[in-house]
Amino acid sequence: MLTCFDIGGSTIKSARARSAGEIEIIDRVATPLDDFGAFAAVIAERVALDRNATKGVSISIAGVVDPASGSLKCANIPCVDGRIIAADLEAEIGTPVWIANDADCFALAEATSGAGRGHRNVFGIILGTGVGGGLVIDGRIVAGAGGYAGEWGHGQALATRVGTPPVEVPHFACGCGQSGCVDTIGGARGVQKLHHLLCGEVLSSTEIIDRWREGEARARRTMDIYLELVGVPLALTMNIIGSSIVPVGGGLSNVPELIAALDNEVRGRTLRRAQSPLLVKAALTTEPGLIGAAALGIQELTHA
Ligand SMILES: [Zn+2]
């Protein structure tokens, strides 16, 4: 078995995994942000529960690991940012440690036991507060140089003149230091920002999407422009990486009409004329991070 963790900026979730699809939750605790000793202790204490049985630690984390150096970039958890994280944890815990980005783990979970099963090229996307993505080819995460492969959310990709009739949409500044990134519009935060810009109303993304589903004119305008803004770079991404399925996770994926509308937008713009849906709701709606971490660890054990 493996001890698996799903680590975000607020919570560390843990589980035992006997196979990729079979996990048993241990618990969830607050993430120690500033003390690496306390952070490592959270991992070590859960590994100690199964000291004789566990073959290693497998982690999904809200950060990016450089495959060449092993260095972790994780702005939300300062005590691990910049560390050679797997080696540092192995030194503290005494078992092998495997670690990958959370969107990559999500994509791996969907590719191995979710909506991507049977597909060789799976691009998992997250439409949550912001936007993320992970690429899995032939069952393995494609981390790419620096660990950034699949990050379709960043780069100056958004059109500035959109819709029918057209309207000017400015490039908003992004946390990555650029502007006009998909991440600034594609998630729940972006829907709110776009609606405020276009309609002058301050509403939650849930309210906007509910009104869109009901056919309300202002919400329809916002979502038409949202779909065009996000659909164009996503279709381009599909042309480049050639995925045959795109499992969608994150809060916005709970709206079937939104996935269907974005799928329609993307399929209308890709060079390949896919006859069946490309974007589908992620199948693993509970604990995809832990399931992805389990799949990663089991792969690493098998290939070791
Ligand atoms: Zn960005």
pLDDT per residue as tens digits for the range 195-225: 999 999 999 999 999 999 999 999 999 999 9
- Ligand 1 center–CA 215 separation, angstroms: 31
Residues 19 and 57 in one domain: yes
Q: Which residues, in sequence order, are CB contacts of 249 under 8 Å at separation 6+?
A: 106, 110, 124, 125, 126, 127, 128, 282, 285, 288
| Count of the separate structural domains present in the chain | 2
Instruction: Please give the average per-residue pLDDT across 268-297, as a whole number.
Output: 95
- Quick one: 182 and 81 in the same domain? no
Measured CA to CA, the distance from residue 251 to residue 48 in angstroms comes to 34
Q: Ligand 1 centroid vs 175 CA: distance in angstroms? A: 6
Same domain, 88 and 11: yes
Has residue 93 been placed in a domain?
yes
Q: What is the pLDDT of residues 11-59, one digit of tens each?
A: 999 999 998 778 999 999 999 999 999 999 999 999 999 999 999 999 9
Distance from the alpha carbon of residue 138 to the mean position of ligand 1, in angstroms: 28
Backbone angles phi, psi at 140, to 5 degrees: -120, 140
What the block records as the tokens of 248 is 């969608």
Rounded to the nearest angstrom, the distance between the alpha carbon of 131 and the centre of ligand 1 is: 9
Q: What spacing in Å lies between the alpha carbon of 194 and ligand 1's midpoint?
A: 16
18: CATH: 3.30.420.40
User: Residue 267 sits in which domain range?
Assistant: 119-281
Ligand 1 geometric centre to CA of 266 (Å): 21
User: Do 55 and 190 share a domain, yes or no?
Assistant: no
User: Do 297 and 228 sit in the same domain of this protein?
Assistant: no
Question: 95 and 176, same structural domain?
Answer: no
Residue 169 belongs to some domain of the structure: yes
pTM, entire model: 0.96
162 in a structural domain: yes
Indicate whether 303 pLDDT > 90.
no
Residues 238 and 271 in one domain: yes
Give the residue among 268, 263, 227 at the shortest CA–CA distance from 246: 263
DSSP one-letter string for 81-136:
TTSBHHHHHHHHHSS-EEEEEHHHHHHHHHHHHSTTTT-SEEEEEEESSSEEEEEE
Give the per-residue pLDDT at 4.
98
CA–CA separation, 156 and 86 (whole Å): 32
Q: What is the pLDDT of residue 302?
A: 87
Going from the Cα of 43 to the center of ligand 1, the distance in angstroms, rounded, reads: 31
Residues 272 and 167 in one domain: yes
Residues 160 and 197 in one domain: yes
In percent, how much of the chain has pLDDT > 70? 100
Q: What is the mean pLDDT of the chain?
A: 96
- Give yes or no: residues 49 and 133 share one domain: no
For the stretch 168-176, contacts whose Cβ atoms lie closer than 8 Å and that sit 24 or more positions apart, written own/partner, are 169/194, 169/197, 169/198, 169/225, 169/229, 170/197, 175/130
93 Cα to the center of ligand 1, angstroms: 35
Assess if residue 114 is contained within a domain: no
Expressed in angstroms and rounded, the spacing between residue 157 Cα and the centre of ligand 1 is 10
Q: What is the DSSP string of 243-267?
A: -SBEEEESGGGG-HHHHHHHHHHHH
Does any domain span residue 207? yes
Distance CA 23, CA 112 (A): 14
Centre of ligand 1 to C-alpha 293, Å, is 25
Report the pLDDT averaged over residues 60-74: 96
> Which of 70-74, 114-118, 181-185, 299-303 shows the lowest per-residue confidence on average (mean pLDDT)?
299-303
- Residue 111 is assigned to a structural domain of this protein: no
Q: How far apart are CA 167 and CA 182, in angstroms?
A: 18
CA distance 22 to 185: 35
- Is a pLDDT exceeding 90 seen at residue 243? yes
Cα-to-centroid distance, 168 and ligand 1 (Å): 20
Structure tokens at 111: 């590719």
The whole-number pLDDT of residue 22 equals 86
**pLDDT at position 304:** 65
Gap from CA of 11 to ligand 1 centroid (Å) = 24
Distance CA 298, CA 69 (A): 22
Specify the pLDDT at position 238: 97
Q: Does residue 53 lie within any of the structural domains?
A: yes
Q: What is the pLDDT of residues 106-165, one digit of tens each?
A: 999 999 999 999 999 999 999 998 999 999 999 999 999 999 999 999 999 999 999 999
Could you tell me the distance, in angstroms and rounded to a whole number, from the CA of residue 174 to the centre of ligand 1? 4
In angstroms, what is the span from residue 141 Cα to ligand 1's centroid? 22
Within-domain flag for 109: no
Ligand 1 centroid distance, CA of 261 (Å): 24
Kindly give the distance from the C-alpha atom of residue 289 to the centroid of ligand 1, in angstroms, as a whole number: 23
261 and 146, same domain (yes or no): yes
CA of 49 to the centre of ligand 1 (A): 40
70 alpha carbon to ligand 1 midpoint, in Å? 23
Distance 103 CA to ligand 1 centre (A): 16
Opening angle at CA 62, ends 136 and 226, nearest 5: 75
pLDDT score of 186: 97
Residue 131 confidence (pLDDT): 96
Q: How far apart are CA 251 and CA 247, in angstroms?
A: 13
Q: How many angstroms is it from 185 CA to the middle of ligand 1?
A: 10
Whole-number Å distance, alpha carbon 45 to ligand 1 midpoint, is 36
Asked if residue 135 and residue 57 are part of one domain, the reply reads no
Alpha-carbon gap, residue 118 to 112, rounded angstroms: 8
Give the pLDDT confidence score for residue 118 in this predicted structure.
97
